[in-house]
Amino acid sequence: MASAPVLETREHRALRAAVAALGKRYGRPYLTEVVRRGEHPEELWAEAGRLGYLGANIPEEYGGGGGGIAELSIVLEELGAAGSPLLMLVVSPAICATVITRFGTDAQRRHWLPGLASGRLRMAFAITEPDAGSNAHRITTTARRDGGDWILNGRKVFISGADIADAVLVVGRTEDARTGRLKPCLFIVERDTPGFTRQHIPMELAAPEKQFELLLEDVRLPADALVGDEDAGLLQLFAGLNPERIMTAAFAIGLARYALRRAVDYARTRQVWREPIGAHQAIAHPLAASHIEVELARLMTQKAAALYDAGDDTAAGEAANMAKYAAAEAAVRAVDRSVHTLGGNGLASEYGLAPLIAAARVARIAPVSREMILNYVSHQSLGLPKSY
């Protein structure tokens, strides 16, 4: 089940091998125990930070690895393939550090990036609202000026890691003084800011990263809480959302590889007739098909990362959507086939595969659902008319 990263440089392959070795030292038993205790994988997070993996995409001058999303997605995929993905990589370095690097002020960069690179600081990202899930244009979290300050009001749901984040990058809207129309804007809200509270949303997911509802009630922020240009709107937002999609693809690919490896190991040795079950094509072919789908999804992910890192935001947008779609669908199928390969043991706690069913579904729904990607491709790539 070893990957064949034919499009990767020698450095990328070395990074894969090094992260895989780290993942192997922790692996699924470690993550399962962390989840059982209701804790976070702090040891793995700290070690990955010390080794420079958490900030692989952050500029060297701020303590990062000076690479891009290509490198960071390798880190997440390999940790996932070892059974111990760090979901916060999707949010903290991929979205938040990217947005701050590209659009933040010098002071914001100096304040946040070294900590995000080492893992000492963590940032969550909040766009989803109860009445504006797939339709981000409907978000109502609003920022108004009050002298030199901003006052934020709104509600966010499903925000991952808000309990362990030092701050949340909140997508809100400001009112255009001339037209009165609302424009998307990004604010850094530090965790202990008065009026900013959170409530845990119980989820049927065996993951250490929890989801939260966030309430912003007259949250007063200093002028420098705004990241980037008040008028730049969607451009700045998508600078963070494309890396998020590429990283979700890497998460799904890692998960699929982990499930497939477990299934293949089982199918090689489990024997109830003359040959191990893996000799039956009804077992072998679905696993082989999943292996192909995962490799194809990785190719698209590499393309999306390469385009993004080269600064081609428009082409990266289409590729990131396609990569996320392909990887999530590959992961859902790979997990389903893997669980089935183990028969009854596929659902036995001892084997730990059943929780992957829900984990793979996360990649299908978040951060943008399968249907919204199909809509995007229908309209943007194929030029079909819109129904909504």
Contact set with ligand FAD (CB under 6 A): 91, 124-128, 133-134, 158-160, 211, 362, 365-369, 371-372, 375, 388
Q: How far is Cα 97 from Cα 111, in angstroms, rounded to an integer?
A: 11
Closer residue to ligand FAD, CB minimum distance, 64 or 154: 154
Which residues does 234 contact at the CB level (< 8 Å), separation at least 6?
Answer: 184
Quote the least distance from Cβ 125 to ligand FAD, whole Å.
5
Which residues does 37 contact at the CB level (< 8 Å), separation at least 6?
Answer: none
Quote the least distance from Cβ 362 to ligand FAD, whole Å.
4
Is the N-terminal amide bond of 5 cis, ω within 30° of 0? no
Quote the least distance from Cβ 130 to ligand FAD, whole Å.
8
Quote the least distance from Cβ 314 to ligand FAD, whole Å.
22
Closer residue to ligand FAD, CB minimum distance, 342 or 360: 360
Closer residue to ligand FAD, CB minimum distance, 40 or 303: 40
Q: How far is Cα 213 from Cα 197, in angstroms, rounded to an integer?
A: 8
Annotate 305-345 with DSSP letters as a single string: HHHHHTT-HHHHHHHHHHHHHHHHHHHHHHHHHHHHHTGGG
Closer residue to ligand FAD, CB minimum distance, 287 or 326: 326
Residue number of the CB closest to ligand FAD reads 133
Quote the least distance from Cβ 196 to ligand FAD, whole Å.
15
Report which residue type is found at 147.
G
Q: How far is Cα 203 from Cα 181, in angstroms, rounded to an integer?
A: 36
Return the structure tokens found at 186: 């990004």
Closer residue to ligand FAD, CB minimum distance, 110 or 138: 138
Q: Are strands 123-126 and 167-175 parallel, antiparallel or unpaired?
A: parallel
Quote the least distance from Cβ 234 to ligand FAD, whole Å.
16
Closer residue to ligand FAD, CB minimum distance, 112 or 158: 158
Nearest to 320 by CA among 94, 97, 124, 168: 94
Quote the least distance from Cβ 282 to ligand FAD, whole Å.
31
Which residues does 118 contact at the CB level (< 8 Å), separation at least 6?
Answer: 49, 50, 54, 55, 63
Closer residue to ligand FAD, CB minimum distance, 261 or 361: 361
